[in-house]
Structure 1
Amino acid sequence: MTLREDYFGYICPKSSLKPSYAIYSLYVSTYQKVSVRVTKLQNMNGNISFPEQLRRGELLNVDCPSREILKRVTSRWGVLVLIALSNETLRFSALRRKIGGVSEKMLAQTLQHLEEDGFIDRTAYPVVPPHVEYSLTPLGKEIQEQVEGLTVWLETNLHRIMEQRQQRSV
Structure 2
Amino acid sequence: MEKALAFNIYHPNCPSRLFFSNLADKWVLFIVDTLQTQPTHFNALKKIIAGISPKVLSQKLKMLERDGFIQRELLDTRPIKVMYSLTPLGHELAQSALAFKLWAERNMQHVLDAQQKYDAAEQLTAKI
SS at match of 1:165: helix
Aligned to 1:141: 91
Deviation at 1:126, TM superposition (A): 3.6
Deviation at 1:149, TM superposition (A): 1.0
2: distance between equivalents of 1:166 and 1:146?
A: 29
1:105 maps to 2:55: yes
- Structure 1 unmatched runs, 5+: 1-50
Deviations 1:75-120 (A, max 9, x none): 0100000111111010000011111110001100110111110000
1:125 maps to 2:75: yes
- Structure 2 unmatched runs, 5+: 121-128
2: distance between equivalents of 1:56 and 1:101?
A: 38
Letter in 2 for 1:135: S
1: distance between equivalents of 2:64 and 2:82?
A: 15
Aligned to 1:46: none
SS at match of 1:101: coil
The match for 1:88 among 38, 41, 49 is: 38
Aligned to 2:8: 58
1: distance between equivalents of 2:97 and 2:86?
A: 13
Larger RCO (CA under 8 A, 6+ residues apart): 2
2: distance between equivalents of 1:133 and 1:60?
A: 36
CA contact (8 A) 1:72 1:114 kept: no
Hey, which of these two has a bigger chunk of helix by percent?
A: 2
Hey, which of these two has a bigger chunk of strand by percent?
A: 1
2: distance between equivalents of 1:127 and 1:71?
A: 36
Deviation at 1:127, TM superposition (A): 3.4
Deviations 1:118-156 (A, max 9, x none): 000110124331210000000000011012112111110
2: distance between equivalents of 1:144 and 1:67?
A: 19
CA contact (8 A) 1:91 1:132 kept: yes
RMSD, aligned CA: 1.2
State the TM-score, normalizing by the size of structure 1: 0.66
2: distance between equivalents of 1:127 and 1:87?
A: 23
SS at match of 2:32: helix
SS at match of 1:152: helix
2: distance between equivalents of 1:108 and 1:165?
A: 34
